[in-house]
Amino acid sequence: MVSKFADVVAAAERIEGYAHRTPVLSSRIVDEVVGARVLFKCENFQRMGAFKFRGAFNAIARLSARQREAGVVAYSSGNHAQAIALAAQLLGVRATIVMPHDAPASKVAATKGYGGRIVGYDRYAEDREEIGRALAEEEGLALIPPYDHPDVLAGQGTAAKELFDEVGELDALFAPLGGGGLLSGSALAAREMSPGCRVYGVEPEAGDDGRRSLRAGEVVRIDTPRTIADGAQTTHLGEHTFEVIRREVDDVLTASDDELVEAMRLFAAHLKLVVEPTGCLGLAGARQLPGELAGERIGVLVSGGNVDLDRYAALLTS
Ligand SMILES: *Cc1c(COP(=O)(O)O)cnc(C)c1O
């Protein structure tokens, strides 16, 4: 199945009334720093604190009555876990989340708070995908992956769709890149709603598999990268996401951890926004192209704001 803009439109209708329509913010000081007019789509204000609610809700809403009856399963220690748990709760579906025994207590608590059942595993000795698949089979659960699924990527594309709906056409759009759900969905929206808009993915410098994949014309796999951008510690793009990315994305940029911290400071100081490290990728990426963006109007997707306050404080003062 080839993903199309129509899938994003259908997802937008499905999530309406459940997902927040997040604000678009800007700062003249940040405009000066970047050298362009920058419009930030603030998914740190999305339900559960990140855009992942969009794809999770769309995917669960698309299940058949029988599948909903049986329940869903996901493996994640991050935002996808909370997104699935909350979306399932809202749709009256039972959710099982496979999480490592040593997952941060705050994330386990948040997932439980949304009514999710947690199945723990040893991240050094066990394979979470295997556990997820086994649970899916034994209990008849629908497995919802974090990015490589047409309904997930269509849902993620609704953030960019809302941005274009609100601000009109743009010269360039920057999206954080992990497995590519957000970037591929955004690219579908951009191509249709702002045909001249250049679309960039931005990934951690330590894990540049997306850039290498785009250059190679096939999915390149790497080891888990060491980076503070924990939402983008992916080892490869998805099959569905890469199919869209290779067709619709202009380039993939990278940002170092230091550049992410600098972007985090700009968000805090000038936009008064708490943004998690992975959510800073878009702004850090836009700062890599100063000459090219001069005089342009650009969009930056701020993907999430879930960061432990102790860790946030430590990063800001590092
Ligand atoms: C998951 C996540 C990403 C990466 O999204 P993909 O769809 O995997 O590319 C970026 N930012 C945040 C905050 C995330 O949770």
What pLDDT digit, counting tens, does each position of 70-88 carry?
A: 999 999 878 999 999 999 9
Measure Cα distances from 59 to 148, 172, 252, 291 in Å: 11, 28, 26, 40
Residue identified by tokens 């299940």 is: 63
DSSP 10-63: HHHHHHBTTB----EE--HHHHHHHTSEEEEEEGGGSGGGBTHHHHHHHHHHTS
Q: Cα(245)–Cα(5) distance, rounded to whole angstroms?
A: 13
Which atom of ligand 1 lies nearest, measured to the CA of 153? 7
227 in helix, strand or coil? coil
pLDDT at 244: 98
**What is the pLDDT at residue 268?**
98
- Residue 19 φ/ψ, nearest 5 degrees: -85, 150
What backbone torsions phi and psi does residue 252 show, to the nearest 5 degrees? -120, 130
What is the mean pLDDT of the segment spanning 173-182? 98
- Cβ atoms of 262 and 209 within 8 Å: the answer is no
How many whole angstroms from 38 Cα to the centroid of ligand 1?
Answer: 20
Whose C-alpha lies nearest to ligand 1, atom 4? 178
pLDDT band at 104 (very low <50, low <70, confident <90, very high): confident
Q: Which active-site residues does the annotation give? A: 52, 77, 203, 207, 209, 303
pLDDT at 34: 97
Secondary structure string (H, E, C) spanning 86-134? HHHHHCCCCEEEEEECCCCHHHHHHHHHCCCEEEEECCCCCCHHHHHHH
Per DSSP, what are the bridge partners of residue 38?
298
* Residue 215 DSSP SS3: helix
Averaged pLDDT score across all residues of the chain: 96
Residue type for position 144: I
Distance from residue 90's CA to the centre of ligand 1 (Å): 22
- Report the separation in Å between the CA atom of 139 and the middle of ligand 1, taken as the mean of its atom positions: 28
Atom of ligand 1 nearest to the CA of 52: 15
Q: Is the pLDDT of residue 224 over 80?
A: yes
Residues 235, 111, 187: CA angle, nearest 5 degrees? 45
- Length of the chain counted residue by residue: 318
Query: Over pLDDT 70: what percentage of the chain?
Result: 100
Ligand 1: centre distance to CA 178 (Å): 5
Contact 39, 24 (CB under 8 A): yes
Tell me the residue type at 184. Answer: S
Name the residue with the closest Cα to ligand 1, atom 3: 231
Ligand 1 atom closest to the Cα of residue 78 is 15
Provide mean pLDDT across the span 194-216. 97
Q: Among 70-79, 206-215, 256-265, where is mean pLDDT lowest? A: 70-79
- In ligand 1, the atom with minimum distance to the C-alpha of 305 is 13
Predicted confidence at residue 108, as pLDDT, reads 87
Q: How close is the Cα of 142 to the center of ligand 1, in Å?
A: 21
Q: Kindly report, residue by residue over 31-68, the tens digit of the pLDDT.
A: 999 999 999 999 999 999 999 999 999 999 999 999 99
**Ligand 1, atom 7, residue with closest C-alpha:** 181
Please give the structure tokens belonging to residue 306: 């879930």
CA 301 centroid distance within chain: 9
Q: What is the mean pLDDT of residues 134-154?
A: 96
Q: Which pLDDT does position 124 carry in this prediction?
A: 81
Cβ < 6 A, ligand 1 pocket:
50, 52, 78-79, 146-147, 156, 176-183, 231-232, 234, 276, 278-279, 303-304
Please answer whether residues 256 and 151 qualify as being in contact, where contact means their C-beta atoms are separated by less than 8 angstroms.
no
Instruction: Specify the ligand 1 atom closest to the Cα of 43.
Output: 13
Q: Decide if pLDDT at 1 tops 80.
A: no
Give the residue, out of 40, 52, 174, with the most ligand 1 atoms within 8 A of its beta carbon, to mutate for a pocket test.
52
Ligand 1 center to residue 169 CA distance, Å? 24
Tally the C-alpha atoms within 13 A of residue 169's C-alpha that lie toward its C-beta. Answer: 9
pLDDT above 80 for 134:
yes
Nearest atom within ligand 1 for CA of residue 50 = 13
Distance between CA 297 and CA 240 in Å, rounded? 30
Q: What is the pTM of this model?
A: 0.97
Residues of the chain with pLDDT > 90, as a percent, come to 91
Distance 182 CA to ligand 1 centre (A): 7
Residue 16: what are its φ and ψ, rounded to 5°? -55, 135
- Testing ligand 1's pocket by substitution, the residue of 45, 46, 300, 303 carrying the most ligand atoms inside 8 A of its CB is 303
Classified as helix, coil or strand, 159 is helix
